[in-house]
Each structure stands twice: as C-alpha cells, then as structure tokens.
Amino acid sequence: MLKQEIKYFNKSRLIGLLMILITFSSCSQTNDDEVVDPIKTNRIIEFSGYEWIVRDTEATKKGPGPNYFSSSEENVWVDEQGRLHLKVVQRQGIWYCSGVDLRRSYGHNKYVFYVSSDVNNLDENVVAGLFTYMNDEEEIDIEFTRWADPDNENAQFAVQPSYLAGNKVRFDITPRENHLTTHFFDWKPTSIDFRSSYGHSLEPKAEDIIHSWTYTGENIPPDSNERLKINLWLFRGNPPVNMEEAEIIIDKVEIL
C-alpha cells in the first residue's frame, strides 16, 4: 500500500518526505546519546596466568601516599617475555604511581614473587609492595623502601598493624650482578613464613638466603575476601629525590 501512495508524490514532495524522516531519525539518535551514561570499565591485564585489575584513581589522590595511580600503559604493562612492569612516571609535572590487584581471592596459600629489577637501587622516596590486603589491619607485606631515609635498610616483612612490637622486621638486600631475587610469604591459619633470597629459586643455597622470618603473633589475618596486590608508589606522595622515574619488574608470581 505504501508503494501505491509513493507513486502519487511528485519528485519534490518525495525528497521533502525523505528529509523529514532523516531529520527525525537524527534527532532521536542525539537524544539517546544524551541520556545514556557511558560505561566505566577497568583495564584488565593477564600476567603469570592470572587476571589483574590495573588501578586508576583518575584525578584524585588516594592511599597509599596519597598518590595519583594511573592505568596507562606507560605505568603498567606486560612485556614480550611475560614480565610485569610497574613504573612511577611524571607527566606534565604530575607524578603517577602504579598498582595491580588480582581479580579474586586465593586465601591461605604460599605467594611467591620472582623479581628481576634492582630493588636496592630504588629512590629513597619510592615504595614497592608485594602484599595481600583486606583492610589496613588485615594485610601481609613484603616491601622494598628506605622510607625517605637514605641510611635505612631497604626491605621489610610486615603484618599489619606494623607499628605493633613484633609485627615487622627490616633487612638489607645488597646488589648483585644480575639483580634476581625471590620473595615469598606462606600464609597459614596460625603462622606466616617469610623469606627473601638471591636468584630465582624456591630452593636456594644457604648463602643465597637474604632473610627469613616466621610470624606467629595475634594479627594473622583471617582468610576472607582479601586480594593479592603489587604496587609502586611514593612515600607521603613526595616526588623521588633524584626526580627520576622508578620501575620494578616482576618475572613471575606463583600461588602454591
């Protein structure tokens, strides 16, 4: 029936009708675009066989620090060898830190980190953290930092709250030629075993063990919905003393 009606329109009337239809369609599409909010998504990366959420605080400073955290590929990426890179980067006068969180909780387990960058060479204002986190009082940490004091030792094992006596030990990781180190914490219901060693091995020689510690105190976190996290950030939000970008490279993470 529509075809029968169209043949009675002259050419100009048909063009006018088509223009009205196009205009109406265009206006409807514009209105739809205005009322539908954009969907905000997180950047997800794959590393060591797991999915990780890349942290992004956008234009807001948040803890630790506080700092700006960016999900930019300039801050966080996995290279062709499958290694994770986290960087502290300055862009347009602003320092951006980096962090990743596992998408799910793995609870009581042994968490192993194979690090290939020189943690001894981190600026005194830079902190690298390998940790599980539920809240500020349910957290297990391996951290590389001098806490803004160049004379401090550069590494620590901690169970939060770390200010309590017996909840933290500090030690030094001295440089070696290839910079490879292995670190783990074995989280169990009644104890947490920590160890750092030179090389990439879970069975190091005695002379390659840097430090080991077993925590049996009252602040062992319960197995809940915590996440494994890795971050690189600036202590108190202050820029690096040397004003240079900082980086940590993780070859692999194992959960055993």
User: How many whole angstroms separate alpha carbon 136 and alpha carbon 67?
Assistant: 17
| pLDDT for 227 beyond 50 | yes
User: How many whole angstroms separate alpha carbon 77 and alpha carbon 109?
Assistant: 26
Q: What is the pLDDT of residues 105-164, one digit of tens each?
A: 999 999 999 999 999 999 999 999 999 999 999 999 999 999 999 999 999 999 999 999
Span 199-214, average pLDDT: 97
pLDDT given for residue 38 in this prediction: 42
Beta carbons within 10 angstroms of residue 192's beta carbon: 22
Secondary structure of 147-175 as H, E, C letters: CCCCCCCCEEEEECCCCCCCCEEEECCCC
For domain 44-255, which architecture applies? Sandwich (2.60)
pLDDT category at 177 given cuts 50, 70, 90 is confident
Q: Are 138 and 160 in contact (CB under 8 A)?
A: yes
**Cβ-based neighbours of 152, under 8 Å, separated by 6 or more:** 124, 145, 146, 170
- β-sheet bridge partners, residue 184: 112, 195
**Cβ-based neighbours of 22, under 8 Å, separated by 6 or more:** none
User: How many whole angstroms separate alpha carbon 122 and alpha carbon 86?
Assistant: 13
Cis amide linkage into residue 150, ω under 30° from 0? no
Q: 232: which 2 tokens? A: 């690189």
Q: What is the pLDDT of residues 73-114, one digit of tens each?
A: 999 999 999 999 999 999 999 999 999 999 999 999 999 999
**Cβ-based neighbours of 58, under 8 Å, separated by 6 or more:** none
